[in-house]
Structure 1
Protein backbone atom coordinates (compact mmCIF):
# COMPACT_ATOMS: atom_id res chain seq x y z
CA UNK A 1 0.00 0.00 0.00
CA UNK A 2 1.38 3.38 -0.92
CA UNK A 3 1.80 6.02 1.73
CA UNK A 4 -0.95 8.11 0.13
CA UNK A 5 -3.42 5.20 0.24
CA UNK A 6 -2.45 4.38 3.82
CA UNK A 7 -3.26 7.96 4.82
CA UNK A 8 -6.69 7.66 3.17
CA UNK A 9 -7.61 4.41 4.87
CA UNK A 10 -10.95 4.15 6.65
CA UNK A 11 -10.50 4.12 10.40
CA UNK A 12 -13.31 3.01 12.66
CA UNK A 13 -14.13 2.38 16.29
CA UNK A 14 -17.17 1.52 18.36
CA UNK A 15 -18.32 3.59 21.31
CA UNK A 16 -21.42 2.04 22.91
CA UNK A 17 -24.25 2.26 20.33
CA UNK A 18 -22.15 4.43 18.02
CA UNK A 19 -19.85 3.47 15.17
CA UNK A 20 -17.38 6.23 14.27
CA UNK A 21 -15.71 6.23 10.85
CA UNK A 22 -12.92 8.60 9.82
CA UNK A 23 -11.43 9.06 6.35
CA UNK A 24 -9.20 11.61 4.62
CA UNK A 25 -9.88 12.76 1.04
CA UNK A 26 -7.37 14.53 -1.21
CA UNK A 27 -9.83 17.28 -2.14
CA UNK A 28 -11.05 20.57 -0.64
CA UNK A 29 -13.89 20.43 1.86
CA UNK A 30 -16.34 22.34 -0.38
CA UNK A 31 -15.90 19.79 -3.17
CA UNK A 32 -16.24 16.75 -0.90
CA UNK A 33 -19.35 18.28 0.68
CA UNK A 34 -20.80 18.92 -2.79
CA UNK A 35 -20.44 15.22 -3.68
CA UNK A 36 -22.77 14.42 -0.76
CA UNK A 37 -25.20 17.29 -1.34
CA UNK A 38 -26.01 17.11 -5.06
CA UNK A 39 -28.02 14.31 -6.67
CA UNK A 40 -25.95 14.06 -9.85
CA UNK A 41 -22.75 13.64 -7.83
CA UNK A 42 -24.20 10.95 -5.54
CA UNK A 43 -25.39 8.95 -8.54
CA UNK A 44 -21.81 8.87 -9.83
CA UNK A 45 -20.10 7.32 -6.79
CA UNK A 46 -22.51 6.23 -4.03
CA UNK A 47 -22.35 2.54 -3.21
CA UNK A 48 -19.63 -0.07 -2.96
CA UNK A 49 -17.49 -1.08 -5.94
CA UNK A 50 -19.55 -2.94 -8.53
CA UNK A 51 -22.84 -1.26 -7.54
CA UNK A 52 -24.60 1.63 -9.26
CA UNK A 53 -27.00 4.10 -7.69
CA UNK A 54 -30.20 5.54 -9.12
CA UNK A 55 -31.82 8.45 -7.29
CA UNK A 56 -35.60 8.21 -7.27
CA UNK A 57 -35.96 11.50 -5.36
CA UNK A 58 -33.54 13.96 -3.79
CA UNK A 59 -34.41 16.99 -1.68
CA UNK A 60 -31.31 18.20 0.17
CA UNK A 61 -32.73 20.36 2.95
CA UNK A 62 -33.78 19.81 6.58
CA UNK A 63 -36.88 17.61 6.41
CA UNK A 64 -36.02 16.61 2.83
CA UNK A 65 -35.73 13.03 1.64
CA UNK A 66 -33.29 11.17 -0.60
CA UNK A 67 -34.77 7.89 -1.91
CA UNK A 68 -32.40 5.73 -3.93
CA UNK A 69 -31.71 2.25 -5.25
CA UNK A 70 -28.31 0.56 -5.42
CA UNK A 71 -27.97 -2.33 -7.90
CA UNK A 72 -25.11 -4.83 -8.04
CA UNK A 73 -23.82 -4.96 -11.62
CA UNK A 74 -20.64 -6.95 -10.93
CA UNK A 75 -21.03 -10.62 -11.94
CA UNK A 76 -17.99 -11.46 -9.80
CA UNK A 77 -20.04 -10.66 -6.69
CA UNK A 78 -21.98 -13.88 -7.43
CA UNK A 79 -25.08 -14.00 -5.16
CA UNK A 80 -25.22 -10.20 -5.00
CA UNK A 81 -25.24 -9.80 -8.79
CA UNK A 82 -28.55 -8.21 -9.84
CA UNK A 83 -29.57 -7.53 -6.25
CA UNK A 84 -31.29 -4.21 -5.55
CA UNK A 85 -31.03 -2.39 -2.24
CA UNK A 86 -33.40 0.53 -1.65
CA UNK A 87 -32.53 3.23 0.86
CA UNK A 88 -34.19 6.28 2.30
CA UNK A 89 -32.44 9.22 3.93
CA UNK A 90 -34.26 11.96 5.84
CA UNK A 91 -32.16 15.08 6.41
CA UNK A 92 -32.33 16.81 9.81
CA UNK A 93 -29.53 19.39 9.86
CA UNK A 94 -27.32 20.84 7.15
CA UNK A 95 -24.51 23.36 7.67
CA UNK A 96 -22.77 24.00 4.33
CA UNK A 97 -19.92 22.84 3.98
CA UNK A 98 -19.39 21.54 7.53
CA UNK A 99 -22.08 19.14 8.64
CA UNK A 100 -24.92 16.86 7.53
CA UNK A 101 -27.20 15.04 9.99
CA UNK A 102 -29.68 12.48 8.71
CA UNK A 103 -31.53 9.26 9.41
CA UNK A 104 -30.57 6.37 7.13
CA UNK A 105 -32.93 3.42 6.64
CA UNK A 106 -33.58 0.57 4.25
CA UNK A 107 -36.81 0.95 2.32
CA UNK A 108 -38.82 -0.54 -0.51
CA UNK A 109 -39.31 0.90 -3.99
CA UNK A 110 -42.16 3.12 -2.76
CA UNK A 111 -40.06 4.54 0.10
CA UNK A 112 -41.74 2.57 2.89
CA UNK A 113 -39.13 2.10 5.63
CA UNK A 114 -38.18 -1.49 6.45
CA UNK A 115 -38.97 -2.38 10.05
CA UNK A 116 -36.60 -5.39 9.87
CA UNK A 117 -33.37 -3.46 9.32
CA UNK A 118 -31.68 -1.16 11.83
CA UNK A 119 -31.96 2.57 11.24
CA UNK A 120 -29.06 4.90 11.85
CA UNK A 121 -28.82 8.53 12.91
CA UNK A 122 -25.75 9.75 11.05
CA UNK A 123 -23.75 12.88 11.74
CA UNK A 124 -21.14 13.76 9.13
CA UNK A 125 -18.53 16.40 9.87
CA UNK A 126 -16.31 17.73 7.08
CA UNK A 127 -13.03 19.19 8.40
CA UNK A 128 -10.68 21.22 6.17
CA UNK A 129 -7.06 20.14 6.65
CA UNK A 130 -4.53 21.91 4.41
CA UNK A 131 -6.57 21.56 1.22
CA UNK A 132 -7.73 18.05 2.10
CA UNK A 133 -10.88 16.93 3.89
CA UNK A 134 -11.22 14.78 6.95
CA UNK A 135 -14.66 13.20 7.05
CA UNK A 136 -15.87 12.04 10.46
CA UNK A 137 -19.06 10.01 10.48
CA UNK A 138 -20.87 9.07 13.66
CA UNK A 139 -23.46 6.31 13.12
CA UNK A 140 -25.80 6.16 16.12
CA UNK A 141 -27.89 2.98 16.46
CA UNK A 142 -30.92 2.22 18.62
CA UNK A 143 -29.05 -0.58 20.41
CA UNK A 144 -25.67 -2.25 20.60
CA UNK A 145 -27.31 -5.32 19.02
CA UNK A 146 -28.40 -3.26 16.00
CA UNK A 147 -24.86 -1.90 15.66
CA UNK A 148 -23.43 -5.41 15.86
CA UNK A 149 -25.88 -6.61 13.17
CA UNK A 150 -24.80 -3.97 10.62
CA UNK A 151 -21.13 -4.56 11.35
CA UNK A 152 -21.72 -8.26 10.66
CA UNK A 153 -23.54 -7.29 7.43
CA UNK A 154 -20.27 -5.66 6.29
CA UNK A 155 -20.96 -1.96 6.89
CA UNK A 156 -17.29 -1.07 7.40
CA UNK A 157 -16.09 -2.96 4.31
CA UNK A 158 -18.91 -1.44 2.26
CA UNK A 159 -18.06 2.07 3.42
CA UNK A 160 -14.34 1.56 2.70
CA UNK A 161 -15.21 0.39 -0.82
CA UNK A 162 -17.66 3.25 -1.29
CA UNK A 163 -15.09 5.82 -0.22
CA UNK A 164 -12.59 4.35 -2.70
CA UNK A 165 -15.25 5.04 -5.36
CA UNK A 166 -15.53 8.61 -4.05
CA UNK A 167 -11.73 9.00 -4.30
CA UNK A 168 -11.87 8.04 -7.98
CA UNK A 169 -14.79 10.37 -8.62
CA UNK A 170 -13.03 13.28 -6.88
CA UNK A 171 -10.01 12.72 -9.17
CA UNK A 172 -12.33 13.00 -12.20
CA UNK A 173 -13.80 16.24 -10.87
CA UNK A 174 -10.35 17.70 -10.26
CA UNK A 175 -9.19 17.11 -13.86
Structure 2
Protein backbone atom coordinates (compact mmCIF):
# COMPACT_ATOMS: atom_id res chain seq x y z
CA UNK A 1 0.00 0.00 0.00
CA UNK A 2 2.90 2.39 -0.38
CA UNK A 3 2.54 5.49 -2.47
CA UNK A 4 5.13 5.42 -5.21
CA UNK A 5 6.60 7.83 -7.70
CA UNK A 6 6.29 7.24 -11.44
CA UNK A 7 9.64 5.43 -11.27
CA UNK A 8 8.24 2.91 -8.78
CA UNK A 9 10.36 4.13 -5.87
CA UNK A 10 8.78 5.25 -2.58
CA UNK A 11 8.11 8.98 -2.61
CA UNK A 12 9.67 9.42 0.85
CA UNK A 13 10.09 7.72 4.22
CA UNK A 14 6.39 8.19 5.12
CA UNK A 15 5.10 6.34 2.06
CA UNK A 16 3.87 3.31 4.04
CA UNK A 17 1.90 5.59 6.40
CA UNK A 18 0.27 7.96 3.94
CA UNK A 19 -2.75 8.41 1.73
CA UNK A 20 -2.57 10.85 -1.17
CA UNK A 21 -5.64 11.95 -3.11
CA UNK A 22 -5.77 14.63 -5.78
CA UNK A 23 -8.32 16.17 -8.09
CA UNK A 24 -8.40 18.95 -10.65
CA UNK A 25 -11.27 21.32 -9.93
CA UNK A 26 -12.61 23.69 -12.56
CA UNK A 27 -12.26 26.89 -10.55
CA UNK A 28 -9.54 29.41 -9.70
CA UNK A 29 -7.17 28.54 -6.88
CA UNK A 30 -8.28 31.44 -4.68
CA UNK A 31 -11.89 30.20 -4.71
CA UNK A 32 -10.96 26.57 -4.02
CA UNK A 33 -8.69 27.72 -1.17
CA UNK A 34 -11.49 29.89 0.26
CA UNK A 35 -13.83 26.88 0.29
CA UNK A 36 -11.40 25.31 2.82
CA UNK A 37 -11.01 28.42 4.96
CA UNK A 38 -14.54 29.57 5.76
CA UNK A 39 -16.93 27.50 7.83
CA UNK A 40 -19.92 28.66 5.78
CA UNK A 41 -18.34 26.85 2.82
CA UNK A 42 -16.97 23.80 4.66
CA UNK A 43 -20.32 22.93 6.15
CA UNK A 44 -21.78 22.67 2.64
CA UNK A 45 -19.35 20.11 1.20
CA UNK A 46 -17.04 18.58 3.85
CA UNK A 47 -17.12 14.81 4.19
CA UNK A 48 -18.04 11.75 2.15
CA UNK A 49 -21.35 11.34 0.35
CA UNK A 50 -24.33 11.26 2.70
CA UNK A 51 -22.48 12.90 5.60
CA UNK A 52 -23.32 16.27 7.12
CA UNK A 53 -21.21 18.43 9.41
CA UNK A 54 -22.10 20.40 12.53
CA UNK A 55 -19.44 22.89 13.64
CA UNK A 56 -19.02 23.61 17.36
CA UNK A 57 -16.20 26.11 16.91
CA UNK A 58 -14.05 27.33 14.03
CA UNK A 59 -10.95 29.52 14.22
CA UNK A 60 -8.99 29.50 10.96
CA UNK A 61 -5.53 30.65 11.96
CA UNK A 62 -2.29 28.86 12.82
CA UNK A 63 -2.95 27.29 16.22
CA UNK A 64 -6.72 27.69 15.77
CA UNK A 65 -9.15 24.80 16.01
CA UNK A 66 -12.09 23.44 14.06
CA UNK A 67 -14.20 21.33 16.46
CA UNK A 68 -17.04 19.56 14.66
CA UNK A 69 -19.23 16.47 14.39
CA UNK A 70 -19.69 14.50 11.18
CA UNK A 71 -23.08 12.83 11.00
CA UNK A 72 -23.04 9.60 9.00
CA UNK A 73 -25.94 8.56 6.77
CA UNK A 74 -26.65 5.71 9.23
CA UNK A 75 -27.07 8.18 12.13
CA UNK A 76 -23.60 7.61 13.63
CA UNK A 77 -21.89 10.75 14.92
CA UNK A 78 -18.12 11.08 14.55
CA UNK A 79 -16.39 13.58 16.85
CA UNK A 80 -13.70 15.45 14.87
CA UNK A 81 -11.05 17.96 15.80
CA UNK A 82 -8.58 19.82 13.58
CA UNK A 83 -5.88 22.28 14.53
CA UNK A 84 -4.33 24.40 11.81
CA UNK A 85 -0.52 24.12 11.77
CA UNK A 86 0.39 26.09 8.67
CA UNK A 87 -1.60 28.40 6.40
CA UNK A 88 -0.05 29.83 3.23
CA UNK A 89 -2.85 31.45 1.18
CA UNK A 90 -3.73 30.33 -1.45
CA UNK A 91 -1.10 27.58 -1.71
CA UNK A 92 -1.07 25.30 1.31
CA UNK A 93 -2.84 24.28 4.50
CA UNK A 94 -1.26 21.90 7.04
CA UNK A 95 -3.28 20.49 9.92
CA UNK A 96 -3.50 17.84 12.62
CA UNK A 97 -6.76 15.83 12.50
CA UNK A 98 -8.12 13.57 15.21
CA UNK A 99 -11.16 12.89 17.34
CA UNK A 100 -10.05 15.28 20.08
CA UNK A 101 -7.19 17.57 21.09
CA UNK A 102 -5.33 14.72 22.84
CA UNK A 103 -6.02 11.95 20.30
CA UNK A 104 -2.83 9.80 20.15
CA UNK A 105 -3.95 8.51 16.73
CA UNK A 106 -4.34 11.95 15.15
CA UNK A 107 -2.85 12.23 11.68
CA UNK A 108 -1.17 15.08 9.85
CA UNK A 109 -2.60 16.38 6.59
CA UNK A 110 -1.31 18.84 4.04
CA UNK A 111 -3.48 20.26 1.30
CA UNK A 112 -1.77 21.96 -1.59
CA UNK A 113 -3.59 24.09 -4.15
CA UNK A 114 -1.72 24.18 -7.45
CA UNK A 115 -2.78 26.40 -10.34
CA UNK A 116 -3.65 24.42 -13.47
CA UNK A 117 -4.52 27.13 -15.96
CA UNK A 118 -8.02 28.33 -15.06
CA UNK A 119 -8.40 25.29 -12.81
CA UNK A 120 -6.86 24.10 -9.55
CA UNK A 121 -5.20 20.81 -8.68
CA UNK A 122 -5.77 20.05 -5.04
CA UNK A 123 -3.58 17.40 -3.42
CA UNK A 124 -4.54 16.03 0.01
CA UNK A 125 -1.73 14.14 1.74
CA UNK A 126 -2.47 12.45 5.08
CA UNK A 127 0.35 10.89 7.11
CA UNK A 128 -0.65 8.57 9.96
CA UNK A 129 1.46 7.82 13.07
CA UNK A 130 1.79 4.15 12.01
CA UNK A 131 1.22 1.98 8.97
CA UNK A 132 -1.38 0.04 10.97
CA UNK A 133 -3.42 3.20 11.62
CA UNK A 134 -3.23 4.09 7.91
CA UNK A 135 -4.34 0.58 6.96
CA UNK A 136 -7.22 0.74 9.45
CA UNK A 137 -8.33 4.09 8.00
CA UNK A 138 -8.27 2.59 4.50
CA UNK A 139 -9.92 -0.75 5.32
CA UNK A 140 -12.33 0.05 8.16
CA UNK A 141 -13.21 3.68 7.46
CA UNK A 142 -12.77 3.65 3.65
CA UNK A 143 -10.50 6.71 3.80
CA UNK A 144 -9.55 6.66 0.12
CA UNK A 145 -13.14 6.45 -1.11
CA UNK A 146 -14.19 9.01 1.51
CA UNK A 147 -11.42 11.39 0.44
CA UNK A 148 -12.37 11.01 -3.22
CA UNK A 149 -16.03 11.67 -2.36
CA UNK A 150 -15.07 14.70 -0.26
CA UNK A 151 -13.13 16.23 -3.15
CA UNK A 152 -16.00 15.37 -5.50
CA UNK A 153 -18.36 17.20 -3.10
CA UNK A 154 -15.96 20.17 -3.11
CA UNK A 155 -15.93 20.19 -6.92
CA UNK A 156 -19.75 20.10 -7.04
CA UNK A 157 -20.01 22.89 -4.46
CA UNK A 158 -17.52 25.10 -6.31
CA UNK A 159 -19.44 24.39 -9.54
CA UNK A 160 -22.57 25.77 -7.83
CA UNK A 161 -20.65 28.88 -6.80
CA UNK A 162 -19.25 29.46 -10.29
CA UNK A 163 -22.19 28.15 -12.31
CA UNK A 164 -19.75 25.73 -13.95
CA UNK A 165 -21.26 22.28 -14.55
CA UNK A 166 -17.82 20.73 -15.21
CA UNK A 167 -15.93 21.96 -12.13
CA UNK A 168 -14.92 18.40 -11.18
CA UNK A 169 -12.40 17.32 -13.79
CA UNK A 170 -10.48 14.30 -12.51
CA UNK A 171 -9.57 12.43 -9.35
CA UNK A 172 -6.34 10.58 -8.68
CA UNK A 173 -6.12 8.51 -5.48
CA UNK A 174 -2.89 6.97 -4.30
CA UNK A 175 -2.19 4.77 -1.33
CA UNK A 176 -4.41 1.79 -2.18
CA UNK A 177 -1.87 -0.12 -4.20
CA UNK A 178 -1.40 -3.70 -2.99
TM-score by length of 1: 0.81
Q: Matched residue of 2:158: which SS?
A: helix
- How many angstroms does 1:113 deviate by? 4.2
RCO greater where, 1 or 2, for CA within 8 Å and sep 6 or more?
A: 2
Report the RMSD for the aligned CA atoms in angstroms: 1.6
Q: Matched residue of 1:48: which SS?
A: coil
Q: Matched residue of 1:13: which SS?
A: coil
- How many angstroms does 1:60 deviate by? 0.5
The answer to whether the aligner puts 1:128 opposite 2:112 as a matched pair is no
The answer to whether the aligner puts 1:71 opposite 2:61 as a matched pair is no
- How many angstroms does 1:16 deviate by? 2.3
> In 1, Cα distance between the equivalents of 2:159 and 2:43?
16
> In 1, Cα distance between the equivalents of 2:43 and 2:107?
21
Q: Which runs of 5+ in 1 are unaligned?
A: 1-11, 75-80
**Equivalence map 1:26-175=2 (5 Å):** 26-72=26-72, 74=73, 81-107=74-100, 113-115=102-104, 118-152=105-139, 153-175=141-163
Q: Which runs of 5+ in 2 are unaligned?
A: 5-14, 164-178
TM-score by length of 2: 0.79
User: What are the superposed Cα offsets for residues 133-159 of structure 1, whole Å, 9 maximum, x if unpaired?
Assistant: 111122111111111111112000111
> In 2, Cα distance between the equivalents of 1:114 and 1:101?
17
- How many angstroms does 1:94 deviate by? 0.2
Q: Matched residue of 1:31: which SS?
A: helix
- How many angstroms does 1:30 deviate by? 0.5
Q: Matched residue of 1:63: which SS?
A: coil
Q: Indicate the structure with greater helix content.
A: 1
> In 1, Cα distance between the equivalents of 2:3 and 2:36?
23
Q: Matched residue of 1:62: which SS?
A: coil
Matched-pair contact (CA < 8 Å) for 2:3–2:16 = no
> In 2, Cα distance between the equivalents of 1:43 and 1:65?
15
